[in-house]
Amino acid sequence: MATINNNEAARSIERKALYISQDHTRVISTAVKELSQLIEDWIAGNNSQVPERHSKISTLEKEANNIKWSLLDELSTATTLVCREDLMRLVLETDMIADNVEAVAYKISIAGNINLPSNILNNLKKMMETVVNTMDKLRESIIALEQNIDKAAQLSKQVDETEEQTDAIHRSLMKDVLEAVNDYKKMYKISNIIEQLEETSDQIKSSADMVRILTMTIRQ
């Protein structure tokens, strides 16, 4: 692993921080996949499953938050670690993914059953699939930080490429909603869900940007 400090204690803290960051991202990735299942259930009309999945996501969000504070506490004493600030920013950015995922789940849970055209529902599923793929790439890039800096940088760039697919589906979805949904309440509910999912995707991209910045710091 590339290091930025010859001090063995600093290297040890760096490794520990990266391991905690990996665990943090694992929990968030699990929440993203749970949201995917929640959307599948909601689209299929299995509304009885939605509250249970929302509860699981809320639990995962709290777990991620606890890991975040554990990592920040660890880094607070690492005054000799040059990449300390970037590691802090990374965990704060990634933790906001979990916040967004929980918000999407909440908005779906209160939306109830909405009768929407099949093309909108199908594209919502496709959008969620790209968010899952983007999150997988982000997690891989964070794991690679401890193993291979060049690979981490490459994977973080791939997050951008995958996130562009989400953007394209998002634009198409909003166009379809405006054209096909005439009921104001329905339009408001589905638009809110779509926009929150887009914010989730944007937050994954922001986290990947922090990975790229961190790779530059570690190379110094």
Quote the DSSP letter at residue 183: -
> Is residue 83 domain-resident?
yes
Residue 141 lies in a domain: yes
Query: What is the pTM for the complete model shown?
Result: 0.91
**Intra-chain end-to-end CA distance of the chain, in Å:** 13
Domain that holds residue 122: 8-219
Q: Say how many domains are in the chain.
A: 1
Burial class (CB in 10 A: 0-12, 13-18, 19+), 153: buried
The residue written with tokens 């975040």 in the block is 68
Q: What is the CATH number of the domain that holds 200?
A: 1.20.58.220
Instruction: Cite the beta strand spans of the chain per DSSP E.
Output: none
What is the chain's pLDDT, residue by residue, as a tens digit (220 residues)?
444 444 666 677 778 888 999 999 999 999 999 999 999 999 999 989 999 999 999 999 999 999 999 999 888 877 667 788 899 999 999 999 999 999 999 999 999 888 899 999 999 999 999 999 999 999 999 999 988 899 999 999 999 989 999 999 999 999 999 999 889 999 999 999 999 999 999 999 999 999 999 998 876 6
Half-sphere exposure of 14 (CA within 13 A, CB side): 24
Residue 57 lies in a domain: yes
Residue 62 lies in a domain: yes
Q: Would you say residue 1 lies in a domain?
A: no
Judge whether 2 lies within some domain: no
Residue 3 lies in a domain: no
